[in-house]
Amino acid sequence: MSIKLSQKQIGQRIAELRKMKGLTQEDLSKSVKISRPSLTQIENGNRNVDIMELQRLSIVLGFSLDEFMSKDFTVTQDVVSITEKKSKKIEERISVPTLQVNKFKNVLLYILERCAGKPNVGETVLYKLLYFSDFNYYELYEEHLTGAKYRKLPYGPVPQKMDAIINQMIDKGQLQRVKTEYHGYSQTRYLPLEKPNLTELRASEKEIIDRVIEQMSDWSASAIGNYSHKDMPWLASKEGEEINYELAFYRDSPFSIRNYGNEIEEQ
Protein backbone atom coordinates (compact mmCIF):
# COMPACT_ATOMS: atom_id res chain seq x y z
CA MET A 1 0.00 0.00 0.00
CA SER A 2 1.42 3.40 -0.98
CA ILE A 3 1.89 6.06 1.69
CA LYS A 4 3.01 9.64 1.78
CA LEU A 5 6.77 9.59 2.28
CA SER A 6 8.83 12.53 3.48
CA GLN A 7 11.73 13.84 1.42
CA LYS A 8 14.08 12.40 4.05
CA GLN A 9 12.55 8.91 3.80
CA ILE A 10 12.76 8.98 0.00
CA GLY A 11 16.36 10.15 0.15
CA GLN A 12 17.33 7.43 2.63
CA ARG A 13 15.80 4.71 0.47
CA ILE A 14 17.56 5.97 -2.66
CA ALA A 15 20.89 6.12 -0.81
CA GLU A 16 20.46 2.59 0.54
CA LEU A 17 19.59 1.18 -2.90
CA ARG A 18 22.54 2.99 -4.47
CA LYS A 19 24.98 1.60 -1.90
CA MET A 20 23.52 -1.91 -2.13
CA LYS A 21 24.09 -1.85 -5.90
CA GLY A 22 27.68 -0.64 -5.39
CA LEU A 23 27.20 2.69 -7.13
CA THR A 24 28.88 5.94 -6.15
CA GLN A 25 26.94 9.21 -6.15
CA GLU A 26 28.93 10.15 -9.24
CA ASP A 27 27.86 6.93 -11.01
CA LEU A 28 24.19 7.36 -10.17
CA SER A 29 24.02 11.09 -10.92
CA LYS A 30 25.45 10.53 -14.40
CA SER A 31 23.03 7.66 -15.09
CA VAL A 32 19.94 9.68 -14.14
CA LYS A 33 21.27 12.93 -15.69
CA ILE A 34 21.31 15.13 -12.62
CA SER A 35 24.26 16.82 -10.91
CA ARG A 36 26.07 15.11 -8.05
CA PRO A 37 25.23 18.00 -5.65
CA SER A 38 21.54 17.55 -6.55
CA LEU A 39 21.73 13.83 -5.77
CA THR A 40 23.45 14.60 -2.47
CA GLN A 41 20.64 16.99 -1.59
CA ILE A 42 18.05 14.33 -2.49
CA GLU A 43 19.73 11.63 -0.40
CA ASN A 44 20.02 14.04 2.55
CA GLY A 45 16.31 14.84 2.31
CA ASN A 46 16.92 18.49 1.43
CA ARG A 47 15.55 18.37 -2.12
CA ASN A 48 12.35 17.02 -3.61
CA VAL A 49 12.40 14.49 -6.46
CA ASP A 50 10.15 15.19 -9.45
CA ILE A 51 8.34 12.43 -11.32
CA MET A 52 10.82 12.34 -14.22
CA GLU A 53 13.79 12.01 -11.87
CA LEU A 54 12.03 9.32 -9.84
CA GLN A 55 11.25 7.44 -13.03
CA ARG A 56 14.92 7.48 -14.10
CA LEU A 57 16.01 6.46 -10.59
CA SER A 58 13.57 3.53 -10.65
CA ILE A 59 15.05 2.32 -13.94
CA VAL A 60 18.70 2.61 -12.85
CA LEU A 61 18.19 1.32 -9.30
CA GLY A 62 15.59 -1.20 -10.44
CA PHE A 63 12.75 -0.51 -8.05
CA SER A 64 9.00 -0.59 -8.55
CA LEU A 65 7.42 2.74 -7.66
CA ASP A 66 4.54 1.00 -5.88
CA GLU A 67 6.93 -1.05 -3.74
CA PHE A 68 9.28 1.89 -3.16
CA MET A 69 6.44 4.08 -1.85
CA SER A 70 5.02 1.37 0.43
CA LYS A 71 5.34 1.48 4.22
CA ASP A 72 7.04 -1.92 4.47
CA PHE A 73 9.70 -1.38 1.79
CA THR A 74 13.16 -2.48 2.94
CA VAL A 75 16.40 -2.67 1.01
CA THR A 76 17.79 -6.20 1.04
CA GLN A 77 19.93 -8.23 -1.33
CA ASP A 78 16.77 -10.14 -2.35
CA VAL A 79 15.03 -6.89 -3.26
CA VAL A 80 18.02 -5.76 -5.29
CA SER A 81 18.21 -9.12 -7.07
CA ILE A 82 14.51 -8.96 -8.00
CA THR A 83 14.60 -5.30 -8.98
CA GLU A 84 17.69 -5.82 -11.13
CA LYS A 85 15.67 -8.32 -13.19
CA LYS A 86 12.83 -5.79 -13.45
CA SER A 87 15.29 -3.07 -14.41
CA LYS A 88 16.70 -5.24 -17.19
CA LYS A 89 13.18 -5.84 -18.53
CA ILE A 90 12.40 -2.11 -18.43
CA GLU A 91 15.66 -1.20 -20.18
CA GLU A 92 14.94 -3.80 -22.87
CA ARG A 93 11.48 -2.31 -23.38
CA ILE A 94 12.56 1.32 -23.60
CA SER A 95 13.24 2.45 -27.14
CA VAL A 96 13.52 5.82 -28.77
CA PRO A 97 10.36 6.40 -30.81
CA THR A 98 11.10 6.40 -34.54
CA LEU A 99 8.42 7.88 -36.74
CA GLN A 100 6.95 5.40 -39.19
CA VAL A 101 5.75 7.93 -41.73
CA ASN A 102 3.58 5.57 -43.77
CA LYS A 103 1.96 4.11 -40.63
CA PHE A 104 1.33 7.62 -39.29
CA LYS A 105 -0.31 8.70 -42.56
CA ASN A 106 -2.63 5.69 -42.56
CA VAL A 107 -3.58 6.21 -38.89
CA LEU A 108 -4.33 9.84 -39.72
CA LEU A 109 -6.43 8.85 -42.74
CA TYR A 110 -8.27 6.22 -40.70
CA ILE A 111 -9.16 8.70 -37.94
CA LEU A 112 -10.28 11.26 -40.51
CA GLU A 113 -12.32 8.67 -42.41
CA ARG A 114 -14.29 8.06 -39.23
CA CYS A 115 -14.31 11.56 -37.76
CA ALA A 116 -13.80 14.23 -40.43
CA GLY A 117 -17.56 14.69 -40.83
CA LYS A 118 -17.95 15.70 -37.18
CA PRO A 119 -18.05 19.51 -36.86
CA ASN A 120 -15.96 19.49 -33.66
CA VAL A 121 -13.03 17.60 -35.20
CA GLY A 122 -10.67 20.35 -36.16
CA GLU A 123 -6.90 20.38 -35.85
CA THR A 124 -6.93 20.58 -32.03
CA VAL A 125 -9.17 17.54 -31.53
CA LEU A 126 -7.31 15.61 -34.23
CA TYR A 127 -3.96 16.09 -32.47
CA LYS A 128 -5.39 14.73 -29.23
CA LEU A 129 -6.93 11.69 -30.94
CA LEU A 130 -3.51 10.90 -32.42
CA TYR A 131 -1.79 11.45 -29.06
CA PHE A 132 -4.11 9.18 -27.09
CA SER A 133 -3.96 6.50 -29.80
CA ASP A 134 -0.16 6.47 -29.64
CA PHE A 135 0.20 6.65 -25.85
CA ASN A 136 -2.63 4.22 -25.07
CA TYR A 137 -1.12 1.67 -27.45
CA TYR A 138 2.31 2.10 -25.86
CA GLU A 139 0.92 1.70 -22.35
CA LEU A 140 -0.91 -1.50 -23.25
CA TYR A 141 1.56 -3.21 -25.60
CA GLU A 142 4.89 -1.58 -24.62
CA GLU A 143 5.73 -0.77 -28.23
CA HIS A 144 5.12 2.19 -30.47
CA LEU A 145 2.12 2.53 -32.76
CA THR A 146 3.30 5.25 -35.16
CA GLY A 147 6.52 6.23 -33.40
CA ALA A 148 5.49 9.90 -33.53
CA LYS A 149 7.09 12.22 -31.00
CA TYR A 150 4.85 14.68 -29.17
CA ARG A 151 5.78 18.02 -27.69
CA LYS A 152 4.08 19.72 -24.74
CA LEU A 153 2.63 23.01 -25.99
CA PRO A 154 0.07 25.33 -24.31
CA TYR A 155 -2.96 23.87 -26.11
CA GLY A 156 -1.96 20.27 -25.58
CA PRO A 157 0.34 17.58 -26.99
CA VAL A 158 1.28 18.17 -30.61
CA PRO A 159 2.90 15.58 -32.91
CA GLN A 160 6.24 16.76 -34.26
CA LYS A 161 6.72 16.99 -38.03
CA MET A 162 2.94 17.18 -38.39
CA ASP A 163 2.99 20.22 -40.69
CA ALA A 164 5.51 18.62 -43.04
CA ILE A 165 3.50 15.38 -43.23
CA ILE A 166 0.21 17.22 -43.77
CA ASN A 167 1.68 19.38 -46.54
CA GLN A 168 3.15 16.31 -48.21
CA MET A 169 -0.23 14.56 -48.11
CA ILE A 170 -1.97 17.64 -49.50
CA ASP A 171 0.55 17.82 -52.36
CA LYS A 172 -0.12 14.16 -53.15
CA GLY A 173 -3.87 14.67 -53.14
CA GLN A 174 -4.44 12.57 -50.03
CA LEU A 175 -5.84 15.38 -47.87
CA GLN A 176 -7.58 18.71 -48.21
CA ARG A 177 -7.12 21.52 -45.70
CA VAL A 178 -10.25 23.57 -45.00
CA LYS A 179 -10.60 26.77 -42.98
CA THR A 180 -13.99 27.09 -41.28
CA GLU A 181 -15.63 28.70 -38.27
CA TYR A 182 -16.99 26.70 -35.35
CA HIS A 183 -18.92 28.33 -32.50
CA GLY A 184 -17.42 31.69 -33.39
CA TYR A 185 -13.81 30.47 -33.55
CA SER A 186 -11.68 29.86 -36.64
CA GLN A 187 -11.02 26.17 -37.21
CA THR A 188 -8.62 24.23 -39.40
CA ARG A 189 -10.06 20.94 -40.64
CA TYR A 190 -8.68 18.15 -42.80
CA LEU A 191 -10.73 16.07 -45.21
CA PRO A 192 -9.44 12.68 -46.43
CA LEU A 193 -9.31 12.34 -50.22
CA GLU A 194 -8.32 8.67 -50.18
CA LYS A 195 -9.00 5.68 -47.99
CA PRO A 196 -6.44 4.40 -45.49
CA ASN A 197 -4.57 1.23 -46.30
CA LEU A 198 -5.85 -0.93 -43.45
CA THR A 199 -3.30 -3.65 -44.21
CA GLU A 200 -0.81 -1.25 -42.55
CA LEU A 201 -2.65 -1.59 -39.23
CA ARG A 202 -2.66 -4.61 -36.96
CA ALA A 203 -5.95 -5.64 -35.37
CA SER A 204 -4.59 -4.55 -31.96
CA GLU A 205 -3.64 -1.12 -33.33
CA LYS A 206 -7.00 -0.57 -34.96
CA GLU A 207 -8.76 -1.64 -31.75
CA ILE A 208 -6.92 0.98 -29.68
CA ILE A 209 -7.63 3.72 -32.25
CA ASP A 210 -11.31 2.71 -32.35
CA ARG A 211 -11.56 2.95 -28.56
CA VAL A 212 -10.07 6.45 -28.58
CA ILE A 213 -12.44 7.53 -31.35
CA GLU A 214 -15.46 6.11 -29.54
CA GLN A 215 -14.50 7.76 -26.27
CA MET A 216 -13.30 11.20 -27.40
CA SER A 217 -14.20 12.07 -30.97
CA ASP A 218 -17.42 13.87 -29.96
CA TRP A 219 -15.65 16.04 -27.38
CA SER A 220 -15.08 19.73 -28.00
CA ALA A 221 -11.56 21.07 -28.45
CA SER A 222 -11.79 22.58 -24.96
CA ALA A 223 -12.99 19.33 -23.34
CA ILE A 224 -10.38 17.07 -24.93
CA GLY A 225 -7.68 19.68 -24.29
CA ASN A 226 -8.54 19.87 -20.59
CA TYR A 227 -8.59 16.07 -20.41
CA SER A 228 -5.14 15.76 -21.98
CA HIS A 229 -3.77 18.29 -19.48
CA LYS A 230 -4.62 15.89 -16.63
CA ASP A 231 -2.84 12.92 -18.21
CA MET A 232 0.40 11.97 -16.41
CA PRO A 233 2.67 12.16 -19.51
CA TRP A 234 1.51 15.76 -20.00
CA LEU A 235 1.66 16.70 -16.30
CA ALA A 236 5.18 15.34 -15.81
CA SER A 237 6.65 16.99 -18.92
CA LYS A 238 8.12 20.45 -19.18
CA GLU A 239 6.67 23.13 -21.44
CA GLY A 240 8.06 22.89 -24.97
CA GLU A 241 9.82 19.57 -24.38
CA GLU A 242 9.19 16.13 -25.83
CA ILE A 243 6.72 13.98 -23.88
CA ASN A 244 8.28 10.72 -22.71
CA TYR A 245 6.23 7.63 -23.65
CA GLU A 246 7.43 5.85 -20.49
CA LEU A 247 5.28 8.19 -18.41
CA ALA A 248 2.21 6.33 -19.70
CA PHE A 249 3.04 3.60 -17.16
CA TYR A 250 2.44 6.03 -14.28
CA ARG A 251 -1.11 6.92 -15.24
CA ASP A 252 -3.98 6.69 -12.80
CA SER A 253 -7.67 6.20 -13.46
CA PRO A 254 -9.40 7.21 -15.71
CA PHE A 255 -6.42 7.54 -18.05
CA SER A 256 -4.78 4.17 -17.56
CA ILE A 257 -6.12 1.46 -19.84
CA ARG A 258 -4.03 -1.31 -18.31
CA ASN A 259 -4.97 -3.30 -15.21
CA TYR A 260 -1.63 -3.36 -13.40
CA GLY A 261 -3.18 -4.82 -10.25
CA ASN A 262 -3.88 -8.17 -11.91
CA GLU A 263 -0.52 -8.56 -13.59
CA ILE A 264 1.81 -11.24 -12.28
CA GLU A 265 5.51 -10.38 -12.13
CA GLU A 266 7.84 -12.93 -13.69
CA GLN A 267 10.36 -14.11 -11.14
The string of DSSP letters for 80-142 reads HHHHHHHHHHHHHH-------HHHHHHHHHHHHHHHTTSTT-SHHHHHHHHHHHHHHHHHHHS
What is the structure's pLDDT at 66? 77
Q: What pLDDT is stored for residue 151 in this prediction? A: 94
Q: Which domains does the chain have, with CATH numbers?
A: 7-93 (1.10.260.40), 101-257 (no CATH)
Backbone angles phi, psi at 199, to 5 degrees: -70, -15
**Sequential pLDDT tens for the chain (267 residues):** 445 788 888 999 999 998 888 888 988 888 888 888 899 999 999 998 888 888 888 888 878 777 788 877 776 644 444 444 444 444 445 557 899 999 999 999 999 999 999 999 999 999 999 999 999 999 998 899 999 999 999 888 999 999 999 999 999 999 999 999 988 889 999 999 999 999 999 999 999 999 999 999 999 999 999 999 999 899 888 889 999 998 888 888 899 887 654 443 333
Q: How far apart are CA 130 and CA 114, in angstroms?
A: 13
pLDDT, residue 93, reads 52
User: Could you give the CA distance from residue 103 to residue 204 in angstroms, rounded to a whole number?
Assistant: 14
Angle, alpha carbons 141-145-147 (nearest 5°): 120
CA distance 179 to 163: 15
> What is the pLDDT at residue 259?
61
pTM of the model: 0.69
- Let me know the angle formed at the C-alpha of 223 by 219 and 227, rounded to the nearest 5 degrees: 110
Intra-chain end-to-end CA distance of the chain, in Å: 21
∠ CA 72-73-76, rounded to 5°: 125
Chain center to CA of 203: 21
pLDDT attached to residue 112: 97
Distance CA 187, CA 143 (A): 33
Could you tell me how many residues make up the chain?
Answer: 267
